[in-house]
Amino acid sequence: MGRTPKEDERYADPTFAVDDAFKRARQQLQDRVLLMQTKHHQGEPVGTVLRIDPGGESGFLEADDGHEIYFNCNSVLEGRANIAVGARVSYVEEIGDKGPQASTVKLLSKHGMRT
């Protein structure tokens, strides 16, 4: 077998050729996004924002295993204005002076949510 694909008569039609090129590019982008989302979430735990203090400076996450983790709103990568109770997030957990805390909090998009 050679490496050159057989000629396809349909590619003589410019509309077909362009449509097919965009279809293939779209599929490659979707595959790449899926791969990036999978890599992004493999090592990071996921939780839910339980509460945020009235001043909006800090709050607590509930990990999927049920334990609570403190976070400072400055640790939210997308900014404190974007975080709300009930939001699903990924985070990096560290041990702080008073127990577990999230040093980095990333909001998950609807497509990246896990339960």
- Read off the pTM: 0.56
Mean pLDDT confidence for 75-93 = 85
Mean pLDDT confidence for 66-78 = 89
Q: From CA 60, how far away is CA 109, in angstroms rounded? A: 19
pLDDT at 110: 60
> Mean pLDDT, the chain, as a whole number?
81
Cβ partners under 8 Å of residue 87, min gap 6: 48, 49, 107, 108
Q: How confident is the model at residue 28 (pLDDT cuts 50, 70, 90)?
A: confident
Mean pLDDT confidence for 36-42 = 55
